[in-house]
Each structure stands twice: as C-alpha cells, then as structure tokens.
Amino acid sequence: MNESAGDFSDILSLLKDNPRGMSVTEIAEAAHLNRNTIARYMDTLLVSGQVEMRTFGKAKVFFISKRVPVSAMLNLSSEMVLLVDGDLRVIQVNEALLSFLSVTSDEITGSLIYEGPAKPLCSDMLTDQIRHAIRGETVRGELRIFRNNQEYYLDQKIYPMVLADGKPGVTVVLDDITEHVRAEAALEQSEAMFRRLVETVQDCIWSVDEHAIIRYISPQITTICGYSPNEMFGRRFSDFMPPGAGVRFSWELTAEISRESGFTLLEFPFICKDGTRIYCEFSGTPVVLDEESNMFLGYNGALRNVTDRRNAEQGVKRWKLFLDGVMDNIPGIIIVTDVKTNSIVYSNLAAEQFLHMSRSEIRSLTSSKLLSRLGSGHLIDAHDQVKAFRKPVNVPEDRVEVDGTVHYISARVLPMVLSADREYLLTMATDISDEVADRNRQLLTRELAFVLEGISSTQEIWGPAMEMLPNISGFEAVAVYQRSIFDDYVLFMSRKGRFAPAIPRDSIVDRIVRKGEPAIFDQYRMGLFLEGTLAIMDNAASLVLMPIVHESRTVACIVLGSTAPQLPDTVLRGILMSTAFQISTVASRCLLQEKLQRERDRTRSYLDVAGVMLVVVGRDGVIEMINRYGAKLLGYTEADLIGRNWFEMIVPDTVRESRLAAFEQMVSGMLNVEDRVYHGPVRCSDGTVKSIRWRNSLLREECGSVAGVVSSGEIIPEEENR
C-alpha cells in the first residue's frame, strides 16, 4: 500500500464491504498490517474526506464517506465541470466542457486556467473567485462569453474541495443557460419598454452617451444611493462600483449596442455615498440617430434598487441548498409525491442509491408505478390511507424487490398540505434488511438450540445442524468430519459441495481442528492458505471450521463452505461462534451420556452373569433393579418386577410383617447391616417358597441419608434347611 500516492484502495474496499463500520483493530486484522500503520492511514483518509469516523465509548469506528466523489460524477453531469488544483492548473474536465471548448482532455489537462484552452472561460474576476474558493469560500455567479461568433450565458458555481492527496482545489460548475436567457428575452421584447416605464415610475431614469458618461440622471438617485444628480453627472456608473463589477458592467453595457430592443443588466453592486453596498438592476435601450445612418448616441434607461429582492432570493437559494444538503446526508430514504398529479417531485441521495436510479429517472415515474415495481403492497395501502384520511401511517416492515434483490424496509408516510392546491405525501423509509436477516438468524439459532436440547445421542446432532446451519450462516455447503480410531478426521456426511474424504494430517486445517477453537476464513483470510495446501473443499472461497470438543479433545468438526466469497459481519461471526460452542456443549453432553450408558450396560452385563440374586429396593419398598439371574430364579422377567413392591409381591405372608419392620430399621439407620447374614424366604411366581441367604448393604445419597438397600442372595441347599 503506497501511502504517499494516496493508494488506500484495500482499506476503502474493506469499509465498503462493512457498511456498519470497522475499528482500527478490525481493519488491521483484515488487511494484515500493523495497527499503528493502519491508524496513520485512517488519519490521512479522514483528513482527505474519504472516510468518516464515529466514537462509541473509547472505540473509534470508521465508515466510508457518504459524499459522492467528484471524479465519479463528472461525466454523469449534464453541466460543464472543471477541476482546478491550488496552482490554478486544470486536473480534470468532463465531456460536456470538452465538447463546448472543442478540445481534447490531453490538450487542457495540466494547463493553467488563464493561459491554456480554458482561457475563453477565464477572466481576472473568475481567477480571483477561484482563489477565494481555494481558501474555502463557495462562489456563485454568471458568466457571459463570446465563442465562434456566438454569445453564451453560463451559470457559474465554484466550490472548494479536497483532492485525493489531501491538498485544496476547486470545482468549477458551468451550466449553459443561453437558451433560457434568449427565450425570456424573446418573450419580453415586444412589451419590455412599456412595462418598464409602468413599473419603474418611482425608479431612477438615466441617460448616458456613447462613452457611457452620465448625461442625465433623475433626482430619485438621491433616495437610492445618497448622491445628488450633480455629483454623478459626467461620471460613469462603473465609477460607483467595485473594480471587478465596474469592469464587467462596462463590458456588458458595451455589448448591448446591437440590441434593437431593451436590455437588462441584473444585480450589479453599487457603492452608496455612505459606503454601504446595494445592488441595482439597470434596464435600457441603445439610442440610434436613424436606421439609415445607424449612428450610435448612447443609452437611455432606468435603474432600481433590488437589494431586498436579491437578499430574499439568495436567502431562498441558500435555504434550499441547506435543505438539499441536509436531506442528502440523511441515511434514510426520502421521497415526496404530489397528491394531485401522483408525480414524484423530490428524492434524496439515499433514495437514488437504494433504487439504483438517478433523480431524473425517479422523477420520470409516478408514485404508483414506482411502488408497483418494488412490489410494495403495504406502502401502496399506506399511501391510499394517507390520501383518504390525511393522517400519518407507519409501515413497520415491508418486503420490496430492487433489481431482483429482496430488501426489507420500515417506512412512515405523512401528509404535507401547503395550500389548497399544493398537497404532498412525504415518504420516509429505512432499509432494515440487515436487521431482518439478523433477526431470522437469531430465530433459526434459537430453533436449532431448541432441537439440540431434546437430542440424546451425538448421531442425532448432525441432521438438524446440517439442515439449519447453511440458512444461519449463508454458506451453501456443510460437512461433518469425525475422529477415527487412527486419530485422523474423516468425512462422515456432507451436503452440497465436494469435500475431501479426510483432513490431511498436519495441515493448517488439521492443526486448527485439533486446537478446538472455531475459525472463520472469509474472502480476505482465505489468502492465508498457500496454493495447494487447502484441499478440504473444491473451489472453496470461504470456510468456517466448528470443532466439537469433548474432554479437551476434538472428536468431530463441522465445516461450512462456500464457493462464493463471504464476509460475515460482527453479528454473524458472534452467532457462528455461539452456535459452535452450543453444538460442542450438546455433543459433549451426549458423549458423556453415551459413555455412562456404556458403563451401565457393561456393569449390567456383569450383574446378569453373576450366580447370585441382586436386587435394589428403595426406601418405599419398591424394586428399583434386579438382575436377570434373580428374576429368573423367582420365575419372573425383569420388567415384571421393577416398579413393584418387594414385600407385597415376593415376601411370603407369614414373615412379611417382621421383614418389613426389619427393613424400616435398616433404612432409618437403627439396624447395622454390615457383615450380617440372615436367612429369609421368597415366594416365586408359581407359589413355591425358597430359602435365601441374604447379605445387605445400604445405598446412600450424597447427603448421607439412606436411599435404599442393595441385597444379594443365594439359595440355601435343602440339606442346610434340615
């Protein structure tokens, strides 16, 4: 990255892909550069206006600048645009101005504005205005030039700007208003003199000779500027104007010699006797002796003080520019619709960016056509309700489609009644697609968590996980790798995508999986893998590794893959990390349960092959466990006995009461059963009674209380009973 040349394209690309902003640490990690270097780069971009910064607590978060770059809009503008640096050299010209000057970009680029091909546009006043603009002032004016034997009127705007290298420059915007001026002049020619005479009765009447020397001026001049007629007689109007304005006035007045009808010179500054500045409008006609000799004698005309009108117009223009600037910097979408014509009369920059249309394209549509193209049913209903009831309507969420891409917006439609004939609808909308996507991911995550809660074996985990993870993550392919008895990770199952049969030993992926921590390789981090070292998925452009850890060892790994570059935002990264931990926790629980079940089954198999009767009786006398040998000895199955009362079902009636009393003493702790052997009869299923030699042990809870009695018994041979 070349800082001196202002090449920050990688950082700007990162910020464009992360519209929610990135901190210096996040940018440094994504760009693989030192944090101090990134901080210095961000300061340069901030000064040059290419990025914006917001502070959240102690963190500084940077966003791509919402201002449209001048270079991107030059050739899109119908106006003539000229970019000048601090040395007054031309650095860029758009196609409209090149066509007007009949030059090529190579001929004009790099030349001084007052010497090169741009000289026809330049004057001392324009040069001074550009210098003012370089110092930070915005200049607005009107330019009148002659080119190719034709007269042109140009609306001139000069704006200060910051160039890509951080140095000051200006943008000169010229709008050809010649046809507009000529059209207005043509409409007014037939009635100009009569109308002016009627309208300017209170104005000052004047007459000048062929050299523009004042030969007559009416007494009204004293009311206007404080000078008496005698003080102005024999002088020029330009003598009472600032130098630049005086030269322009003289030049424009001379240029009006050829006009047969009246002319108007608008808003020239005039210095009053007390030093204050006013603005005057001069109107008049050239005076010719006769048509045959065509002898020019001077001009007759009138002037009026238009300072208040000019200030009002300037105030309106400044206010409109201010409102336009505010609206264009509002991130929300704003569209204003005329109720009567159903036409769109205003749209801000956010609306253009969201709809992928220019303002002229938006305004060429009716409101109903635009809403129909978006497929916005709720907004259409909202507009109808506001038109009918003149009350604001909220649209909390609406699905729209822009160029084939589905978005979600929230909107508010308000009535704007300026007069009986001027009614508008103001639509303010916000793109909430990211919020809806995050909400759906959260719902899917909770649904997956709910499903996982009811799972009791590891094999039941993979189905729901593989079904729902692609929708949560946006990665289209998913696979499960399980640890084999050979201590490697082999493919167990996959969905979409082509995955390798096993993860290569000692590869980067293998080391990450064995480490047991989730890892996300987005479109930038995929460059960390050397060519040929990543063979886990064909044509993978992004990967997510979600190891399943049990007892500090990775027993399996879920792999999410995408052949399209992915760049998960902070929220999605958090969801993926949380989901990986959740799946790992459920898998660990299932593995523990399976291990415990295996141990129980193994212990039960030991009990089943033992040559003695083993039975567990709870405090309430209910049989909780009996081995297969004992159940067979009694003539029952295990299912027949478990859950039944031992004393009611197995102990003969004759000894039941005494055995029950002894049992109660044992569970209450009053009878020591250690190393005691006693004889007790049992009743089999066929009604026969067998004598059993019993050994007992107390089964205790963690708190020490007796939970039941574990007894082992063997049949007493008949010879011992005799």
User: What pLDDT does 152 receive?
Assistant: 83
| Spatial separation of the C-alpha atoms in residues 410 and 435, rounded to whole Å | 11
What is the reported pLDDT for 175?
85
Phi-psi region of 32 (alpha: psi -120 to 50; beta: other; left: phi over 0): left
**Which residue is associated with the tokens 């264009």?**
328
Domains 9-64 and 330-431 fall in the same CATH topology: no
pLDDT score, position 193:
55
Confidence band of 42 (pLDDT split at 50, 70, 90) = confident
The set of residues, in sequence order, having a beta carbon less than 8 Å from that of 229 and lying 6+ positions away, is 216, 217, 218, 219, 221, 222
Task: Please tell me the predicted confidence (pLDDT) of residue 4.
Answer: 42
Region of poorest pLDDT, from 155-159, 228-232, 255-259, 483-487: 255-259
Least confident of 29-33, 210-214, 373-377: 373-377
Give the homologous superfamily in CATH for domain 330-431.
Answer: PAS domain (3.30.450.20)
pLDDT at 490: 92
**Of 81 and 9, more confident:** 81
Question: CA triplet 402, 405, 406: central angle to 5 degrees?
Answer: 90
Phi-psi region of 184 (alpha: psi -120 to 50; beta: other; left: phi over 0): alpha
Q: Does 362 score more than 80 pLDDT?
A: yes
Predicted pLDDT of residue 548: 87
CATH class of 181-312: alpha beta
CA distances from 40 to 26, 37, 43, 165, 416 (A): 15, 5, 5, 14, 48
Q: SS in 3 state form for 500-544?
A: CCECCCCCHHHHHHHHCCCEEECCCHHHHCCCCCCCCECCCCEEE
Residue 650 burial (CB < 10 Å; 0-12/13-18/19+)?
buried
296's enclosing H/E stretch is strand 296-305
| Residue boundaries of the structural domains of the chain | 9-64, 70-176, 181-312, 330-431, 436-597, 610-721
- Report helix angle 24-31 to 35-47, nearest 10: 110
Question: What confidence score (pLDDT) does residue 5 get?
Answer: 38
User: How confident is the model over 628-677, as pLDDT tens digits?
Assistant: 888 888 889 888 888 899 988 989 988 888 888 888 888 887 777 766 78
Q: Which CATH number fits domain 436-597: 3.90.1150.10, 3.40.50.300, 1.20.1260.10, 3.30.450.40?
A: 3.30.450.40
Amino acid at 206: W
pLDDT score, position 720: 54
Fold classified for 610-721: Beta-Lactamase (3.30.450)
* Residues 72-113: tens digit of each pLDDT: 556 666 788 888 888 888 888 888 888 888 888 888 888 888
What pLDDT was estimated at residue 235?
92
Share above pLDDT 90 across residues of the chain, in percent, rounded to a whole number: 8
When the pLDDT of each residue in the chain is averaged and rounded to a whole number, the result is: 82
Residue 480 is predicted with a pLDDT of: 92
Please state the rounded mean pLDDT for residues 579-604.
78
Based on its alpha-carbon atoms, the radius of gyration of the chain, rounded to whole angstroms, reads 46
Q: Residues in the chain, how many?
A: 722
In percent, how much of the chain has pLDDT > 70?
88
175-220 confidence digits (pLDDT tens): 888 888 887 777 666 555 545 554 455 788 889 988 889 998 888 8
Lowest mean pLDDT among 373-382, 426-435, 590-599: 590-599
122's tokens: 């330049």
Question: pLDDT tens, 273-306?
Answer: 999 999 998 988 888 766 566 677 888 888 888 8
List strands edge to edge, sheet with 553-562: 489-495, 477-483, 553-562, 542-550, 519-521
Pick the CATH number of 70-176 from 3.30.70.990, 3.30.465.10, 3.30.210.10, 3.30.450.20: 3.30.450.20
Inter-residue contact 80 to 175 (CB < 8 Å):
yes
DSSP 218: -
d(CA 126, CA 112): 13
Instruction: Express each pLDDT in 262-272 by its tens digit.
Output: 788 888 999 99
pTM: 0.42
pLDDT digits (tens, 9 = 90+) for 43-63: 777 766 678 888 877 778 888
Segment 252-258 mean pLDDT: 80
Q: Domain spanning 9-64: which CATH class is it, in words? A: mainly alpha
Cα–Cα distance measured from residue 157 to residue 73, given in angstroms and rounded to the nearest whole number: 16
Contacts of residue 264, defined as CB under 8 A and 6 or more positions apart, other chains included, come to: 281, 282, 283
- pLDDT value of residue 98: 83
Residue bearing tokens 């309430």: 620
